[in-house]
Every structure is written in structure tokens, then in C-alpha cells.
Amino acid sequence: MMLPLVLYDILSELPGNNWSANPAKPRFVLSYKDLPFVTLWVEYSDIPIAMKSIGAKPNKRQDGSDVYTVPVLNDPNTGALITDSLEIASYLEKTYPEKPIFPNNSEPMIRAFDSAYESLTRPPAKSMYARCAEILSPASAKFFIEARSRYAPLPWGVTYDEDWELLEKAHNTAYEWYQKTDGKWVMGDTLSYADIVVACHLLWYKRVLKEDEWARISSWNGGKWAQVLADVEKECKLV
Ligand SMILES: N[C@@H](CCC(=O)N[C@@H](CS)C(=O)NCC(=O)O)C(=O)O
């Protein structure tokens, strides 16, 4: 009998906890593949101590230094303990190939997509970080602000209008990508990890931003983004 896999995700003060884009990606994959799993919620400020104590491998910062990150996946069926959302997706695909998320050998292409999409959405992220700090416990908000300031120096939020312009531009580019497919998914008629990456970013905005801010994103490109999120959540059986 199959044992439930264990996904480490990050606590928040929002009802239902979930808010963070990277741990959402393996959650969507596990659910899409119909794999049994449980979620262990880690306080953001406890990530280093908690991940070290379970023996997880650290991740790498952009400058090459070590940092403990969530998501981490433990698969008691194989003993695997995997750090990093993309490596978890890759592991799950290899170990549980039914209902592929990298159909037709698309893993190399989707890895490139993941990296392109991250670069597209990173520039305006610092205004989003300010909102993240608002939904964490005080200790975690402090830790989060310190951790993120390494990449996006404070003060955050002062360039808010500029960030919104950048965010809209990023979505216009992603919209052009989606216009090149003749189905509703990046790969046409089949959902892939590429759509999960986009949907999990959108979920992050939806969970962390103010209602009117999410409404603003939803209104871009003819309502494309609320639709993508709803389509992926439905296909992954998360609604
Ligand atoms: N590339 C990693 C990034 C994971 C990541 O940055 N996780 C954040 C939370 S979303 C984290 O754990 N940060 C810990 C820190 O910055 O100290 C992945 O996709 O899993």
C-alpha cells in the first residue's frame, strides 16, 4: 500500500495557510497525479532549523551560497528527500509517470520556460514582498524581510506604481506566449508543468494581494489570468 508523501509548506495567518508560490507547485503536481500526501506547515522563521533537522539538502542562493528553502518533499515509499520545487516535479514525474506533467519529453523545454517565467515576473516582485510580510506572523515577517532584502533592497513599496507597470508588461508578454498555442494550455491540448508554474504565481497574487489588487490583475488581457488559475485548479482537482 502506498504511504502518503509529505510536503513541507509555509504557514501564514491566512485561513487555510497556503500562500507561497513555490510550495504550491508540488501541491498542484501531487494532486494532479492523484498521489496521497500530507502537508506539514513550517513557520517561515523556522525554515533553516526545521529543514536542517530533517536532513534536507540546502538550496543555492543566486550568489551561490547555501540557504534552506521550502518546499521539501519526503517520499516514505522510496526514502527520497528532495529540495526545490522544480527538482520535486522532476522526481515525481520520474517516480510516478502516470498523468505526465512533462508530456512528450518536454522537461528540458519546460525547465527553460520556468526560468524565463521567473525572470519575467521577478522585477516587480518587491511590492508583492511587502504584502507577503503582512500575512506572516511577526517573527516570520521579520525573517522574511531580512531574507528578501538580500535580493530586493529596502525600502519596498515606494516604487509601487512602477512595479505595477512592470507587472502588467510581464503579463502582456506571458499573454503573447499563450496566444501562440491553439488550446487553453501552454502545450495546446494538454496541461503541463508550465501551466502549473503560471497558476501558482497567480495563486500567490490572489492570496497575498488586496482584493482590488487581484481584481486589477484579473482584468488584464481579457480576464486571462483568473481563467488560467481557475482552469489549472480544476484540472489539478484543487477546487
Ligand atoms: N528555487 C526554490 C526556491 C524556494 C524558495 O525560495 N523558498 C522560499 C519560500 S517561497 C524559502 O524557503 N526561503 C527561505 C529563505 O529565504 O531563507 C524552489 O523553487 O523551491
Q: What is the pLDDT of residue 147?
A: 92
pLDDT for 231 equals 98
Specify whether 142 is located in the same domain as 208: yes
Question: Do 181 and 80 fall within a single domain?
Answer: no
Q: Range of 159's domain?
A: 103-235
- List pocket residues of ligand 1, CB cut-off 6 Å: 10, 20, 22, 47, 59, 67, 69-71, 84-86, 147
Residue range 175-209, pLDDT digits in tens: 999 999 999 999 999 999 999 999 999 999 999 99
Distance in angstroms between the alpha carbons of the first and the last residue of the chain: 27
pLDDT at 156: 81
pLDDT interval class at 219 (50, 70, 90): very high
User: Residue 166's pLDDT is what?
Assistant: 93
Last residue of a domain, one of 79, 95, 111: 95
Q: How far apart are CA 110 and CA 188, in angstroms?
A: 14
Ligand 1 midpoint to CA 169 (Å): 25
- Identify the pLDDT of residue 5: 98
Q: Which residues pair with 83 in a beta bridge?
A: 72
Per-residue pLDDT tens digits for 14-61: 999 999 999 999 999 999 999 999 999 999 999 999 999 999 999 999
Q: How far is the CA of 69 from the centre of ligand 1 (A)?
A: 4
Whether the ω angle into residue 26 lies within 30 degrees of 0, i.e. cis, is no
Ligand 1: distance of its center to the CA of 86 in Å?
11
Q: Are residues 129 and 221 in the same domain?
A: yes
Identify whether residues 222 and 112 lie together within a single domain: yes
Domains held by the chain: number: 2
Q: What is the pLDDT of residues 76-114, one digit of tens each?
A: 999 999 999 999 999 999 999 999 999 999 999 999 999
117-167 confidence digits (pLDDT tens) = 999 999 888 888 989 999 999 999 999 999 999 888 888 866 678 889 999
Q: Which of 42, 41, 30 is nearest to 4 (CA)?
A: 30
User: For the segment 10-22, what is each residue's pLDDT rounded down to a tens digit?
Assistant: 999 999 999 999 9
Mutate which of 7, 28, 41, 70 to test ligand 1's pocket (most atoms within 8 Å of Cβ)?
70
pLDDT digits (tens, 9 = 90+) for 166-176: 999 999 999 99
Give kind and range of the element (H or E) at residue 218. Answer: helix 211-219
